[in-house]
Amino acid sequence: MRELEDAELARTDIEGYLRRHEHKELLRLVVIGSVDDGKSTLIGRLLHDAHGIYEDQLSAVQRASSKGATRGEGSEAAIDFSLLTDGLRAEREQGITIDVAYRYFSTARRKFIIADTPGHLQYTRNMATGASTANVAIILIDARLGVLAQTRRHAYIASLLGIPHLCACVNKMDLVGWDQAVFQRIADELGAFAGKLGIPDVRCLPISALRGDHVVDRGDVAPWYTGPTLLEYIEEVPLTGDLNLTDLRFPVQYVIRPSLDYRGFAGQIASGVVRRGDELVALPSGRRSTVTSIDTHDGPLEEAFAPMSVTLRLADAMDISRGDMLVREGARPESSQRLDAMLVWMAERPMDPDKSYLIKHTTRMVRASIERVVGIVDPDTLQPVPAPRLGLNDIGRVELRCHQPLFFDAYRRNRGTGAFILIDSLSNDTVAAGMIQAGTSAATGADAGPARENAPQVSAAERRARLGQSGAVVTIGGSDGASARERAFLIERVLFDAGLVAAVVPEVGAAAVAAAGVIALVVVPRPALALDGAAVTSASDDHEAAARAVLAALGAAGRTS
């Protein structure tokens, strides 16, 4: 068994062990389930069987167990594993989990951070909290009860929070005699539902957390099951592709100025890759400069990528401060004062649509008003129901108007620039978590000058309905300026003939033109052919071929109807 090999290596060759563990990956899990599905037992089992619990913590739990804090999990367990994770005294007294607890364990391949979230209906906010950073959601289903309304709600929250991998553990299989038909029925029902939610990767495992079957050890209880154990699954689920390395988003966090000669913009790369020599645009000013150095305490880098924390220096002296964002021209985020967003309401006090709240988004804090509550999502049907406001644990769709523009992407495309929290400026409480849907609100554009108090009345969706297309920025370059311009005009003609509205515009106005729903063609003095910053593959130097490739890319990106 791998764990024992790991312990053996620690015993015999500690430096070899350290080298092995130096190259571990980090995986964040959230474990969610209804009351008594056995979440805490499962986590306790994972920690125990993978040697993540120290003995004195175990003896403290045994002491607490014998004090009489018993749970509905069954009396066969010698140790009540749930007591390991239910950390707060109030929880131990009441026998329920009232807050998100974080637990840690690791194998030779990965370090795991587990968020244990309570399954009561009134604690949706804790589930959302645990899910916000997770790569993998583990949903527990009681084999005897099957997929419940709660299960669907949990899967929905996992999809809302953008978790790419869903692993459903059908627990207490021992209580249904490891009946394959029971498992298959649940797996089919959940798979169909997850498909509707658009979760990209769904997996079902039959387990018994109490007895440990298929958690870390396989056992011989279900010869019909040939899939991975839970530990095998979380060790092997691929993480490449979960992170957006396409669009550079560098929210400036802190300006480092130790002397007059040094001015560095410090921050954590939210997405994308930055290289020394890259030309970047600062938002909201729209001013451009070149990256002269990517600094770290351990020396300069040629290239940095998300989620690194670095310090960028630029060629030009520019007035950039916390809350600004550095991005690549041609791949700008959306810029708008109006947001179409999903909210999870987290405060006891319901939303007051008449007052303004603070939004914290990336490193930016702005004031915002709630313009409209589109509806609250019905937990059973998952359909929006009209409502005047959101209350505790409601999930709803709203339109917000910020007093300053934000630079954002749709949450589905970019978790780092699509997420925000709402803060009550009187109580200072975090009252809601928000996920920007984007793309449906009319942009005011970074180039449109200072924020306007009167926000646009025409939405992007309405523009699209009128024009039959949505705006985009196509970057066109060539070996020399004349050739690039010729190519741009040819592409304009081909797009026009295909029924689209496109125009060759100066780079500075491209974002505004795209926001207006038109396809902006921008000529740049370097070899390039890109749609919204993503390279378009063109087989040859032939202008006709390039034009066809752009047309195909627009269709593939859903820019044309």
User: SS3 for 503-545, per residue?
Assistant: EECCHHHHHHHHHCCCEEEEEECCCCEEECCEECCCCCCCHHH
Q: Is 545 in the site for another protein (CB under 8 A)?
A: no
Nearer Cβ to another protein, position 211 or 328?
Answer: 328
CB atoms within 10 A of CB 202: 20
Q: At what angle do helices 2-12 and 14-22 cross, to 10 degrees?
A: 130
Q: Which stretch binds another protein (CB under 8 A): 166-174, 224-232, 252-260, 382-390?
A: 252-260
Residue 220 has φ and ψ, to the nearest 5°, of -130, 30
Q: Is 429 in the site for another protein (CB under 8 A)?
A: yes
Residues 177-206 that bind another protein (CB under 8 A): none
CA-CA distance, 63 to 79, in Å (whole number)?
10
Q: Which stretch binds another protein (CB under 8 A): 145-153, 426-434, 448-456, 479-487?
A: 426-434
Residues 66-125 that bind another protein (CB under 8 A): 84-90, 92, 98-104, 106, 110-111, 113, 125
Q: Is 453 in the site for another protein (CB under 8 A)?
A: no
The H-or-E segment that residue 487 falls in is helix 481-497
Q: Which stretch binds another protein (CB under 8 A): 169-177, 274-282, 411-419, 442-450?
A: 411-419
Residues that contact another protein, how many (by CB under 8 A): 87
Q: Is 171 in the site for another protein (CB under 8 A)?
A: no
> Which of residues 1, 15, 78, 198 is near another protein by CB under 8 A?
15
Across-strand partners of 442? none
Binding mask 128-167 for another protein (x = CB under 8 A): xx--xx----------------------------------
CA-CA distance, 262 to 260, in Å (whole number)?
6
Binding mask 458-497 for another protein (x = CB under 8 A): ----------------------------------------
Q: Which stretch binds another protein (CB under 8 A): 49-57, 169-177, 213-221, 483-491?
A: 49-57
Minimum CB separation of residue 67 from another protein in Å reads 8
219 in Cβ contact with 228 (< 8 Å): no
Q: How far apart are the first and last CA of the chain?
A: 55
Minimum CB separation of residue 293 from another protein in Å reads 11
CA-CA distance, 328 to 249, in Å (whole number)?
8
| Residues with Cβ within 8 Å of residue 539, at least 6 apart in sequence | 545, 549
| Residues with Cβ within 8 Å of residue 492, at least 6 apart in sequence | 502, 503, 504, 521
Q: Is 64 in the site for another protein (CB under 8 A)?
A: yes
**Pair of tokens at residue 290:** 């070149």
> Which of residues 433, 502, 516, 551 is near another protein by CB under 8 A?
433
Nearer Cβ to another protein, position 101 or 370?
Answer: 101
Q: Which of 287, 284, 292 is nearest to 261 (CA)?
A: 292
Which amino acid type is present at position 63? R
Residues 271-310 that bind another protein (CB under 8 A): 273, 295-298, 301, 303, 305, 307-309
Binding mask 336-355 for another protein (x = CB under 8 A): ----------x---------
Q: Which of 351, 342, 377, 392 is nearest to 162 (CA)?
A: 342
